[in-house]
Amino acid sequence: TWGKINNSIALYQKIADVKGLQYVATKNQLEGELKIRLVSLSYLYTIIDLIEESEKLTNRLVEFSEIAEKSGMMLAQDVLEAKVQAKQLEITKYELSEEIKNQFLEIESLTGLKNLSKEQIDFKIDEEEMLAVMKLNPDEVLAKATSTNQENIQMLHQLESINSLAEKIAKGSVNWK
């Protein structure tokens, strides 16, 4: 009977340990997801700025093309191609704006904050950190991801111990010990 009590105590302690690891792993996952979304927003805004510059240039190209067509220096087809290019930029900008809205919705969902705007988010990308990660050897990254220091791996080891203890308790009950 004492063996079952001690094993039960050990079992519940291991379950508590797993819950603690689960909390840390979930917290790290959410922090990582938030950081990814903030980085995405930053790059999306940068891309939109570049598209807006391209739109200005493309609109000038359309104007010059129309003038050139009127003076006989350019074909109507060339003018249409310039207009299509301008429309493609407009469509791309719209799609990026929609993606920005989606990123904000996900950030709001993660943080519980509502009606966020670009002005409320002061996030700077650490380019050096990103470059350092990109330079890592893929095998090293895999080794770190599957290291026994990772919470998810630690949880799996703890769950193995829990199963072992539960099995001992079950055998003790069957054998009347």
Question: How far apart are alpha carbons 161 and 7 in whole angstroms?
Answer: 11
pLDDT, average across residues 42-46: 93
- Model confidence at 150, pLDDT cuts 50, 70, 90, reads confident
End-to-end CA distance of the chain: 6
Q: Which residue has better confidence, 119 or 50?
A: 50
In the numeric block, the tokens 């079992």 are attached to: 11
**Residues 5-17 pLDDT 10s:** 888 888 888 889 8
